[in-house]
Structure 1
Amino acid sequence: MKILYGVQATGNGHITRARALLPSLQQQGIEVDFLFSGRPKQRLFDMEMFKDYRWARGFTFATAKGKVNTLATLTQLQPWQFYRDVSQLDVSDYDLILTDFEPVTAWAAKRQGILSVGLARQYALRYPLAGQQSARWLKTAVSIFAPAKLMLGVHWCPEFPSLLPPLLAPVSPLPVDGSELPFILVYLPFEQLSAVVNWLKQCPSWHFKLYANVNALRTDDNVTILPLSRHAFPADLQRCRGVICNSGFGLCSEALVAGKKLLIKSLQGQIEQAYNTFTLLKMGKAQQFKTFSPEALLNWLYQPAAEPFPMPDPATAVARWLKQGCVDTVSDLAATIWQQQR
């Protein structure tokens, strides 16, 4: 079996899902090619496991100071380039197209009549998650952006019969380094770096590790600023005392499973993050901040540690389901997975 796996690379959560699922696909004997879109190719990092992947421009949103910039987002759209990318992508050699909300592969599959499966958090937004009524237009918008014949949404609990648990890379508990100061892990890529650093420095008795788009490690008082890394970041996630981040699904999921308390700030204007925030608050699994207030930070810092929130690992079952031709219904697949123990 040979599949083309399209990954939306706007955020790292989509790429994390691909990293988690790829070993199970390979264990099933599936040959996998990748296409990434939504981020300039030169800004992708630690991509060795995807080998000779393809890249397309795709679509993404522009941000500034923690908000989606609607005008800039619309200005940077290149619909004719997207049409050319879809038209020129020949998927006839593939048995199946798997799309993690990646529009070029999704539309190429639709135009060429190839079976397509969507696997992403965004497909869960077709439902009124956590009792919040889904926007009337959202279900249509999700299906238009990255259409798929079968849609696998992911969620933190079996709230709806066709939603799966998150796909997360397996981790092993790390030994405690007695020489390392306790620290808080911070990842706020949509915020202004100087604003985040100045905010954290207002709590000088705490140490923070802040991952950002920088070229080299540097220290500013009690804040260590580190370059993005798929190797160092997961290790620090396991060792940290808590996580401060935007409310992207992937990192929040990793923090929940690892038992790390969460302080989250939604990317304003991004509806998925708004749903994630609403759900986490209702579950009692996070605290929210909207401005860089030292009071909100201090209040959270002195909150007790969180307990691990285990969820089943769906990777093997999803890979087997794909290899068998997606014969079972999505609801049956989800029910089987939720019965497992992570």
Structure 2
Amino acid sequence: MRIFFFIQGEGRGHQTQAIALHDILVRAGHEVTGAIVGTTPGRGVPAMLSRHFRFPLTALPSPALQYSHRDKGLAVSKTFFRNARFIPRFWSQGAEADRIIAEHRPDLIINFYEMLCGIWQWRYRRPVPVLSVAHQFLLEHHAFSIRHTTGHFHRMALDNVSRLASVGTTLRLALSFYELPDDGTIRVVPPLLRPELKDLAVCDEGFLLAYMTHYKLGGDLENWCRRHPDVRVEAFWDHPGHRNQYRPLSNLVFHPVDATAFLDAMRRCRGLVSTSGFESISEAMYLGKPVMLFPTPRHFEQEVNALDAVHAGAGIRAESFEDLDLFLDYLPRYKSVREQFRKWYNQGEARWLKLIAEVTR
């Protein structure tokens, strides 16, 4: 079967999902012929994807989140107005996407939460089936028990993004930390994690691992490390000014985002500190590593991720890197959920292939 991807290029989460599902598809004898990667205007294909994939990757400008310079939080108004300037450009990308897809003649399209796929379907409504993949779809599941009571405007914005990303979708596949029943066109599936996780030898070298979805959060981590010179921290970020390793302090080093290096650090760390990215939490749960999660301010999706992860037994919630003292106090009390998480995760490959067969019959 010929399959084509749409991939959201912001952050490592959707990229990780695409890499993991690609490996499942190849093992099953399918071919991924190409991908459109939605990127911030002016940026190219992320290195993480270009290193892994050998099929053609086309970067097209796509709506992107904007962050506050003041508190590093999600700037909803800034996001709206900046992207509004580019609406004609984004709309025109639908035609370019249609041209590329026509060249590849796919039997199936899989969309990793990229809004350009929805724009393309909105404009052309081609008959090829589309599977849309994202943990964000879990928020629309009737049995999802985490209900955050604040940030209603941000929830509305996220719902609109999810609707646009899934225009013309055959099925929505909701990634989850745990099993839930089907709900209409929503199918709940285990996280998509890279298969090399299974081969990692887990140990504890005593350092804390940090991952941030936006490099502007690095200042808070540096401040805490300066006050705690006895605690070693290794961090990963996507900083436009630091494409190589950066060591501002003797006990703190920042690495550029690299999938292999990040997993190697996770298998060796004492615990993970993160801004509530779904994939990082899932990887930590698989490896039995405790997590401290602090959502990006005004980022509804990350707030729900953090609450859901705590509900699943992954770790604790915090407000920022400045709360790392709480994590150090929590670590001796952590009880691993590795075995129950792995049982759920191991059902994944069979479920994915069954769903793909279902929509392409």
Question: 2:138 aligns to what?
Answer: 124
Aligned-partner Cα distance in 2 for 1:70–1:139:
14
Query: Which residue of the partner structure matches residue 353 of structure 2?
Result: 319
1:302 to partner: Cα distance = 4.9
- Conservation of the 8 A alpha-carbon contact between 1:260 and 1:305: no
Residue 96 (structure 2) pairs with residue 88 (structure 1): yes
* Cα deviations by residue, 1:154-212 (Å, 9 ceiling, x for unpaired): 111113333111111122454578xx952111112324322211113322222111112
2:107–2:360 contact (8 Å) kept in structure 1? no
Q: Does 1:156 align with 2:146?
A: no
Q: Which stretches in structure 2 are left out of the alignment for 5+ residues?
A: none
Over 3 Å counting, the alpha-carbon distance change for 1:189 and 1:116 in structure 2 is closer
Match of 2:309 among 250, 270, 280: 280
1:49 aligns with 2:52: yes
What SS class does the counterpart of residue 266 from structure 1 fall into?
coil
Cα pair distance change 1:324/1:280, threshold 3 Å: closer
Query: TM-score, normalised to structure 2's length?
Result: 0.81
- For residue 38 of structure 2, what is the amino acid of its counterpart? S
Partner of 2:39: 38
* Amino acid across the alignment from 1:185: L
1:264-279 alignment to 2 at 5 Å?
Answer: 264-279=293-308
Cα RMSD after superposing both structures? 2.6
Between 299-308 and 104-113, report the one with greater CA deviation.
Answer: 299-308
* Structure-2 change in CA distance of 1:36 and 1:43 (3 Å): closer
2:113 is matched with which residue?
A: 101
CA distance in structure 2 between the aligned counterparts of 1:83 and 1:244, rounded to whole angstroms: 38
Give the C-alpha shift of residue 231 in structure 1: 1.8
For the structure 1 residues 207 and 102, does the alpha-carbon distance in structure 2 shift closer, same or farther, using more than 3 Å as the test? same
Partner of 1:187: 211
Percent identity (aligned): 20
Determine helix, strand or coil for the equivalent of 2:145.
helix
- Deviation by residue 1:200-253 (Cα, 9 ceiling, x = unmatched): 332222211111222222431211222221221111111111000011111111
Aligned residues: 325
TM-score (norm 1): 0.85
Note the C-alpha offset of 1:140.
5.8
Runs of 4+ in 1 over 6 A off after TM superposition: 133-136
For residue 80 of structure 1, report the CA deviation from its aligned partner.
0.6
Task: Please tell me whether the aligned partners of residues 126 and 142 of structure 1 are also in contact (alpha carbons under 8 angstroms).
Answer: no
**Structure 2 residue 290 is matched with structure 1 residue 290:** no
Unaligned ranges ≥5, structure 1? 328-342
Q: How does 1:141-220 map to 2 (within 5 A)?
A: 142-147=162-167, 148-161=169-182, 162-170=187-195, 171-175=197-201, 181-190=205-214, 191-212=216-237, 213=239, 214-219=242-247, 220=249
Residues 102, 262 of structure 1: alpha-carbon distance in 2 compared, 3 angstrom cutoff: same
Deviation at 1:270, TM superposition (A): 2.1
The residue aligned with 1:68 is 74
